[in-house]
Amino acid sequence: MAVIEVEHLHKSYGGDIAVDDVSFTVGEGEIFGILGPNGAGKTTTVECLSGLRPADRGRLRVLGLDPRTERDAVRRVLGVQLQESGLPDKLRVREALDLFASFHPDPADIPALLDRLGLAAKAAAPYRTLSGGQKQRLAIALAVVGRPRVVVLDELTTGLDPHARHATWELVEQIRAEGVTVVLVTHFMAEAERLCDRVALIDAGRVVALDTPAGLARRAGQQQRMRFRPSAPLDEDTLRALPEVTAVTWRGPQLEVTGTGDLVVAVTSLLARRQVIAADLRVDQATLDDAFIALTGREHPQPGPAGTR
Ligand SMILES: Nc1ncnc2c1ncn2[C@@H]1O[C@H](COP(=O)(O)OP(=O)(O)OP(=O)(O)O)[C@@H](O)[C@H]1O
């Protein structure tokens, strides 16, 4: 059974269409990414799914429950971390967790959760004194304290430095390893590539592609490029004869081979048969960034180096 079903979701604010016929399903134990530019309708989609906003039209189910008519039941199985936590500045970490735990019949062990999320030393700290990374970890803790079967994480690592972002990714992987299904809203291509099993690329309220990160990158149609220094003379025509190869060019002492499909496997197997070593090998693959541009027809607005927008 699909854990999440979204069929023909529509949502407008006044006359403005935010979500325009979005459909997807998420399987048990998946990390499913919702990726897209600012204003694409990602947050609105997950808010409707979580029962925080009523959809105008469409069928939504979380473990078979309707977030509109069975909101309390959905709350018991679905944990949400949204962009703004809205926690009072003076609320202490432990108090926030105790409060959220009180909404659930069988909450997680709070000291163990604090420990796992690296917040044990901050249990008595007021919210406003936490760093960006600590606030994000608390937001994750609040989303999982009710031991949900599904967790929605929205813009989890925006504003975090690379170290904190990697630490947060590991937490998401741990959550999934415990059998929780994860819906991850993100701007970061690298985040989607690292974490997500499948991704829905949303643009202007519509799903423009739904695939694995690698599948999306392949769809971008971008060529792959290999560069290396052959350890022994090599007949370029044998490379050109490979069906995966589209061009072979010398760049100084380096050979540049471009192509599609399983280019790397085809070229490296040929080299192995000829007993040639590919020294200084570098491979450039199409990335989700390429896919984004190819599928939406515009540049992906990358957050700044520290993930700020
Ligand atoms: N409460 C609201 N009232 C009116 N319009 C809204 C409201 N919330 C969102 N919108 C509009 O709906 C559209 C989709 O917004 P949404 O927040 O769902 O997009 P998003 O993909 O999550 O964007 P971001 O990445 O910037 O968070 C945008 O045009 C936004 O301005």
| Domain boundaries, given as residue ranges, for the chain | 4-212, 223-284
Mean predicted lDDT score pLDDT of the chain: 87
Amino acid at 215: G
Q: CA 139, CA 97: separation in Å to the nearest integer?
A: 10
Asked if the model's pLDDT at residue 1 lies above 50, the reply is yes
ipTM of the prediction greater than 0.90, yes or no: yes
pLDDT at 248: 92
Q: Is 39 in the pocket of ligand 1 (CB under 6 A)?
A: yes
- Find the angle CA(92)-CA(97)-CA(100) to the nearest 5 degrees: 125
Please give the distance, rounded to the nearest whole angstrom, from the Cα atom of residue 29 to the centre of ligand 1: 28
Residues near 81 by beta carbon (within 8 Å), at least 6 away in sequence: 139, 140, 142, 143, 151, 152, 153, 154, 156
Q: What is the pLDDT of residue 36?
A: 85
In this structure, whether the domain defined by 4-212 belongs to CATH 3.20.20.70 is answered with no
DSSP classification of residue 108:
P
Gap from CA of 10 to ligand 1 centroid (Å):
13
Distance of CA 259 to the CA centre of its chain: 28
The pLDDT-based confidence of 98 (bands split at 50, 70, 90) is: very high
Report pLDDT for 277.
93
Tokens of 195: 């974490």
The pairing of beta strand 224-230 with beta strand 206-211: unpaired
Please compute the mean of the pLDDT values over residues 137-141 and round it to a whole number.
89
Nearest one of 184, 196, 201, 199 to 37, comparing CA atoms:
201
Establish whether residue 64 lines the binding site of ligand 1, counting it when its CB lies within 6 angstroms of any ligand atom.
no
pLDDT digits (tens, 9 = 90+) for 44-75: 999 999 999 999 999 999 999 999 999 999 98
**Residue entry with tokens 């604090």:** 114
Residue 307 has pLDDT above 60, yes or no: no
Query: Measured from the CA of 45, which atom of ligand 1 is nearest?
Result: 18
Closest CA to 267 of 295, 236, 239, 286: 239
pTM (predicted TM-score): 0.77
> Tens digits of per-residue pLDDT, 247-296?
899 999 999 998 887 888 999 999 999 999 999 999 876 666 667 777 77
> The tokens 């939406």 sit on which residue?
296
Whether CATH 3.30.70 fits 223-284: yes
Question: E strands within 83-188?
Answer: 150-154, 181-186
Q: CB neighbours of 265 closer than 8 A, spacing ≥ 6? A: none
Residue 26: other Cβ atoms inside 10 A: 23
Nearest to 131 by CA among 119, 141, 145: 119
How far is the C-alpha of 309 from the C-alpha of 75, rounded, in Å?
30
Say if residue 309's pLDDT is above 50. no
Residue 309 Cβ contacting ligand 1 at under 6 Å: no
Mean per-residue pLDDT, 193-217: 89
